[in-house]
Amino acid sequence: MKDKREQFLSRIRGKLPHAFLPEARADHPGSFQGYSYPQMNLSPEGLVERFTQELQALSGHVYHLTDIEQVIPTILTILSRHQANQIIAWDDASLGIPWLRRGLIESGITLTPSELSPEDEARKIRLAEMDPILVGLTGAQGGLADTGSIALMSGPGRGRLVSLLPPVHIALLPQSKLYPSLPAFLAAHPNATDASSNLVFITGPSRSGDIEMTLSIGVHGPGEVHVIVIPQ
């Protein structure tokens, strides 16, 4: 194994000096220095506005709350449209609103986490249980204004399947976590990949154009994405 890896690497080392690559040096594959991102100088309100425009253009739904108390009625409205009273959700700390879970439970909603066993059979059983659940509720570690995306980082209590398995995904996004663009988010979170084994940027509902380029929404992921922007 070690020998094979050494062979592999030395083959590359041997070839690189002869490679016809405009920007590269023998010790470096070439980088993008000098590339600059288009800068967006948007006010906090401007960021929300742009984010909303972009996500709505992709048939995502955005809610602006002026008062944090509105979060439960907003969620309940979405749930009632789907006649859903059972949801999978991130844990309280990750949703960021300590009284949210209790409020939802008092309204007759059952919340379960996405928890998978390291053991195959138990894992499959839990997946089969979660499959029929219609709605997933997550927080968000960031929003990207120029693309209408939300950034989710996995972790304890922050399951990945919550934003993937159910046909409806509701995300709570604090307004303070809006960034102009994906590169701006990465620049603000240089340790994102240390902090989380899965960082995903979600840009609208799951879609496909594989059959005759006809747009279909909700292919393997959610067909509905609702982002509730929470005031600071």
Partner 1 sequence: VIHKTRQDVAELFREKLKATDEDVADVPRMTALARRLLRQDFLQAEMGITGVNFAVAETGSMCLVMNEGNGRLCTTAPRIHVAMMGMERIVPTLEDLGVMLQILARSATGQKLSVYTNIITGPRRGRENGQGLESDGPDEFHVVIVDNGRSKILGSELAEILYCIRCGACLNVCPVYQQIGGHAYGSVYPGPVGAVVTPGLHGVEPWSELPHASSLCGACREVCPIRIDIPRMLLKLREQGTEAGKSPAWLKLGLRLFRLATARPGLYRLGGRLSSLGTRLIGREGWIKRLPGPLAGWTRQRDFPVFAQKSFSQRWQEERGRKKP
Helix (H, G, I), strand (E, B) or coil at 46: helix
Q: Does 6 bind partner 1 (CB under 8 A)?
A: no
Q: Does 27 bind partner 1 (CB under 8 A)?
A: no
Residues in the chain: 232
> From the CB of 210, what's the least distance to partner 1, in Å?
5
Q: How many angstroms separate the Cα of 196 from the Cα of each of 158, 166, 182, 199, 201? A: 10, 22, 17, 6, 13
Largest CA distance in the chain: 69
CB atoms within 10 A of CB 229: 21
- Output 155 or 231, the one with its CB closest to partner 1: 155
Give the one residue of 1, 83, 108, 190 binding partner 1; rule: CB under 8 A: 190
Site for partner 1 in 212-231 (CB under 8 A): 212-214, 216-222
Per-residue binding string, partner 1, 194-213, x by CB under 8 A, is x-xxxxxxxxxxxxxxxxxx
> From the CB of 10, what's the least distance to partner 1, in Å?
10
Site for partner 1 in 54-73 (CB under 8 A): 54
Query: What span, in angstroms and rounded, lies between the C-alpha atoms of 159 and 200?
Result: 12
Element containing residue 63 per DSSP (H, E)? strand 61-64
- Output 35 or 66, the one with its CB closest to partner 1: 35
- Output 65 or 134, the one with its CB closest to partner 1: 134
Site for partner 1 in 114-143 (CB under 8 A): 114-116, 118-120, 123-124, 127-128, 131
Tell which residue, 44, 38, 35, 37, has the closest CA to residue 179.
44
> From the CB of 43, what's the least distance to partner 1, in Å?
21
CB atoms within 10 A of CB 226: 21
Q: Does 180 bind partner 1 (CB under 8 A)?
A: no
Q: Does 150 bind partner 1 (CB under 8 A)?
A: no
Q: Does 193 bind partner 1 (CB under 8 A)?
A: yes
Tell which residue, 205, 148, 153, has the closest CA to residue 180.
148
